[in-house]
Structure 1
Amino acid sequence: MTSHSTAGSDASEPPRRLSPRTQLLFFIGCELLVYMDRGVLAGLLPHIKESVHKGDSTPLSSAAAGWLGSVFMFGYTIASPIFARLSRRGPCWTARSIAIGLVVWTAACASTYFFVGTSYDLLLLCRLLTGVGEAAFCALAPVVIDDASPSGRKSSYLGLFFMAIYVGIALGNIVTAGIPSWEAGKVILLVEACLMVPMIVLCLRWQWRFSTSPQRVINEAPAYAGVSGTIMGLMSDVKQVLMSKSFVLICLGFAAFNFVVGGLAVHGPTILRESLHASQAVATLGLGLATVFTGVLGTYFGGWLSDKVAGKNPDVSSRARAGSKICAIMSAIGALSIALTAMASSTGMFLCMMSFSLMALFSTTAPCNVGLMSTVPEDVRSQGLAISIGVSHLIGDFPSPVIIGAIADASKSWSVAIMFAAVWMLLAVACWSLACRHIYRYGAVAPTAPHVTYYVSQASTDDIDKETSFDPVMDVVE
């Protein structure tokens, strides 16, 4: 009788929250694997062009191979708003949504090894599904990190998380360096899938222990029941997000940033080879090292600087102002540096100027995401991130390689194409400057939606208070 009573008492206690550091490390691990996969695909692309064929055994063109790196965007754009809505069904549904997405991603990577063979269509489908899998993780993880991290260090935590993008891509390039064929390269995709399985298990095991803001949980009212209700709720979320003028401006600035960075990333090695007569090894290795180095330092620096500018205990408007201000200043520096890069007369000068440009541009990553999350109601932050990433791909790094390449062809000069990228970056400067001005005048966020309800007990609130006082350097996994 006593034992039964004790068990019931233990079961009624809310689960202890994971420490901020534990949550950050978990999501960094997932982010590394997701972006390592991007780097692996890029590294294996020459082997894919040699071995993979369309239905009529036609060798792949460069355009067809390029679609393998872009098609994930369609899966992401379609799935991310759905996962963002699904995550609001209850406190544990954020973790469950992430786990569902990672299961799809894992299945897509494993299927590439077991079923694709040399079929281009099947490989394209698997790459589409990786975008569906990424959708939940990329839209929801930053929101959880933002909720978990201590006040005054939130941007730094996000900076550490986004650093994993560049480290992951670099790891993907490194592990494919000595791969002799597509058949051998597919093994890496299987290893990625196997490494993600423990992360999925941990995500489900910890589903009640992640930090989830109570405002993100919706009241399951009859108006939002069923398929039609879900669609109505989704449309309501999107409307709330797009009603924020500051969010729209920051989102457009983010798209302009992605346009420039995405286009230069694709054409950078070609510019070095054709304009400055660098070797293939120097072009790829030099730009690769520059991207990793500036990505890691720039991303963390931007997060750290955002926290410093916002102050020790910032409110939402202070964080949004700091983020948009830093984005405007650093993107202006980046635009000027890109313009100077167009005048480079040697490989060394080009790499130095491009590194400085990327350092300035990458420092906007964390402040921009802080601005995006701070300018929408708290319960639709994940929906805001989903929309912003979809828009930044659709009008950013998806069309930019084609447009910049076409300008180079028409002008017969890569310097003109680079100068065009510098001018385009001024659109980001303008959007982020206008966003900062709007936030100064009117504040950051509209009132939270009326259908929100709270599912937080006093014990849970006590846990939150304890968590925010933790030192992230001293936190350990429970």
Structure 2
Amino acid sequence: MSPDADARSTGYARYTLALLAVLNFLNYADRYVLGAVLEPVRAEFGLSGTEAGLLGSVFMVVYMCVAPLTGYLGDRARRTRIVALCALAWSLATAATALAGSYAQLLVLRALVGVGEAGYAAIAPSLVADRFTPDRRGRALAWFYLAIPVGSALGFVVGGLVAAAWGFRAAFVVAGAPGLVLAALAWRLPEPPRGALDSAALRPAEPLSPRATWQRLVRTPAWVVNTAATALMTFTMGGLAFWMPAFLQRTYDLAVDQANLMFGGATVAAGLLGTFVGGYLGDLRQRNDPAGYFVVSGWGLLVGAPCVLALPLLAGPEAVVALSFVAEFFLFLNTSPLNAALVASVPAHLRASGFAINIFLIHAFGDAVSPTWIGWVSDRVGLGVGLATMAVPVAIGGMLLVASARWVRRWPGGLAHVRP
């Protein structure tokens, strides 16, 4: 079978996407199970709001620092083996959190989860991209990134239910165990040929040095704009995901399982709908508009911003959860288009590095900061005010994307344009 025919193999493509998508569900479930049980963890270890927020931030700091290293490896080594080892690492660290006896141990284990998840997030999207033609990638990536709402909700809902029945420590065991099995399956995945389904301009060349890779990426305006807008969105999404269950518990005196079931349900419903609608609208708009991905994403963020601002101002938990559904729908609308735009902006031999450096930057300026920021504001003027500040970054990100769409239409090559 030729490389092109192998890459197009329907069976390989669907199996690769299914396995990587399920692993991505677990990736986000393991990431957000801590948010589901944050209040009981805070109570047992006697943590302040700032200390609790730091548990989220330390994960992200490690995650963003490791991602460029694994991305560099992903452009040079067998990617399927790397994602399998990363899945094994984060799953073991999540399950081991059940044994933590101190705040320092919690910090170390959350950092180890960040190591595993960083490698997976940097490399797995390039495996998906190499199994699908450009006109189908937006929808394929929609399935892959459906893990953000579904996996996050899984972490919230299962974490809350397990914690209510058997305590918060059991929630970490239940979240971590499935990844151990799927890591073994990922080890046996066939490696797709790099860039076989891309145009000649984006097909593999010789790997670049780290410095040359960075220089190539920053000379790609669409990659730069995409990264900046995604960082602003990630600041908001990470802060909301980490603190919303705690807000519902504190403000409306809800039980841990009730708060997580309500917020998790809204997240999965909004994420399912928003991710699929965004993937469909992005591919549809991009067919006739070289800036279509940016337009769909930008307007989603602009409409979502006032909804985020109003979240802590409502009178009851039902109203808050209903509005969170609306806000999250418009925020999740950008997930598939922005990731498809990132794939379209860099050649195949730089994709793992392009995703990895993107991950570093969006988390360095996004959710590595926002959980601690909200905790800091909460200690001083209240958690509701901290959550309301999350409207500002997405409003700025939306304006940046909508404004940049005009430039993309003028650039030779559109999203793939490279400055001299």
Instruction: Check whether TM > 0.5.
Output: yes
| 2:213 corresponds to which of 205, 219, 237 | 237
Contact 1:334 1:358 in 2 (8 A): yes
Contact 2:83 2:123 in 1 (8 A): yes
Change (3 A) 1:48 1:402: closer
| 2:195 corresponds to which of 197, 213, 218 | 213
Name the CA distance, whole Å, in 2 between partners of 1:394 and 1:160.
26
- Amino acid across the alignment from 1:167: V
Moved more, 435-444 or 347-356: 347-356
Equivalent in the alignment of 1:379: 349
- Amino acid across the alignment from 2:110: R
- Amino acid across the alignment from 1:65: A
Equivalent in the alignment of 1:258: 234
What displacement does 1:405 show? 5.7
Name the CA distance, whole Å, in 1 between partners of 2:392 and 2:163.
41
Name the CA distance, whole Å, in 2 between partners of 1:68 and 1:405.
11
| 2:30 corresponds to which of 4, 27, 37 | 37
Name the CA distance, whole Å, in 2 between partners of 1:325 and 1:285.
33
Contact 1:89 1:218 in 2 (8 A): no
What are the Cα deviations for residues 197-223 of structure 1, in whole angstroms up to 9, with x where unaligned? 332322222243x35325676647xxx
Contact 2:275 2:334 in 1 (8 A): yes
Name the CA distance, whole Å, in 2 between partners of 1:32 and 1:375.
26
Name the CA distance, whole Å, in 2 between partners of 1:408 and 1:44.
18
Q: Which runs of 5+ in 2 are unaligned?
A: 197-201
- Amino acid across the alignment from 2:30: D
Equivalent in the alignment of 1:454: none
Corresponding position: 1:109 with 2:78:
no
Alignment of 1:92-241 (within 5 A): 93-112=78-97, 116-179=99-162, 185-187=168-170, 189-190=172-173, 192-208=175-191, 210=192, 212-213=194-195, 219=206, 233-241=209-217
Name the CA distance, whole Å, in 1 between partners of 2:308 and 2:109.
36
Equivalent in the alignment of 1:388: 358
What displacement does 1:194 show? 4.3
Change (3 A) 1:97 1:236: farther
- Amino acid across the alignment from 2:142: G
Give the TM-score taking structure 1 as reference length: 0.74
Contact 1:140 1:382 in 2 (8 A): yes
Contact 1:81 1:234 in 2 (8 A): no
Name the CA distance, whole Å, in 1 between partners of 2:305 and 2:391.
5
- Amino acid across the alignment from 2:328: L
What displacement does 1:180 show? 5.7
What are the Cα deviations for residues 221-246 of structure 1, in whole angstroms up to 9, with x where unaligned? xxx8xxxxxxxx12221221122222
What displacement does 1:75 show? 2.2
Name the CA distance, whole Å, in 2 between partners of 1:47 and 1:273.
11
Q: Give the structure with the higher percent helix.
A: 2
| 1:25 corresponds to which of 18, 27, 46 | 18
Name the CA distance, whole Å, in 2 between partners of 1:259 and 1:80.
18
Give the TM-score taking structure 2 as reference length: 0.83
- SS of corresponding position for 1:396: coil
Between Structure 1 and Structure 2, whose CA radius of gyration is higher?
A: 1
Corresponding position: 1:81 with 2:68:
yes
- Amino acid across the alignment from 1:75: V
Once superposed, what is the RMSD of the aligned Cα atoms? 3.5
Contact 1:76 1:134 in 2 (8 A): yes
Name the CA distance, whole Å, in 2 between partners of 1:41 and 1:273.
15
- SS of corresponding position for 2:160: coil
Equivalent in the alignment of 2:283: 307
Contact 2:232 2:366 in 1 (8 A): yes
Change (3 A) 1:269 1:34: closer
Change (3 A) 1:41 1:394: same
Name the CA distance, whole Å, in 2 between partners of 1:189 and 1:342.
29
- Amino acid across the alignment from 1:247: W
Percent identity (aligned): 28
Q: Which runs of 5+ in 1 are unaligned?
A: 1-8, 53-58, 225-232, 450-478
Q: Which has the higher contact order (CA 8 A, sep 6+)?
A: 2
Contact 1:303 1:367 in 2 (8 A): yes
- Amino acid across the alignment from 1:198: V
What displacement does 1:77 show? 1.7
Equivalent in the alignment of 2:199: none
- Amino acid across the alignment from 2:212: S
How many residues matched? 407
- Amino acid across the alignment from 2:13: P
Contact 1:38 1:169 in 2 (8 A): yes
What displacement does 1:306 show? 1.0
- SS of corresponding position for 1:397: coil
Name the CA distance, whole Å, in 1 between partners of 2:247 and 2:344.
38
What displacement does 1:254 show? 1.0
What are the Cα deviations for residues 417-448 of structure 1, in whole angstroms up to 9, with x where unaligned? 66643343221022212332221111222469
Name the CA distance, whole Å, in 2 between partners of 1:160 and 1:302.
11
Moved more, 69-78 or 398-407: 398-407
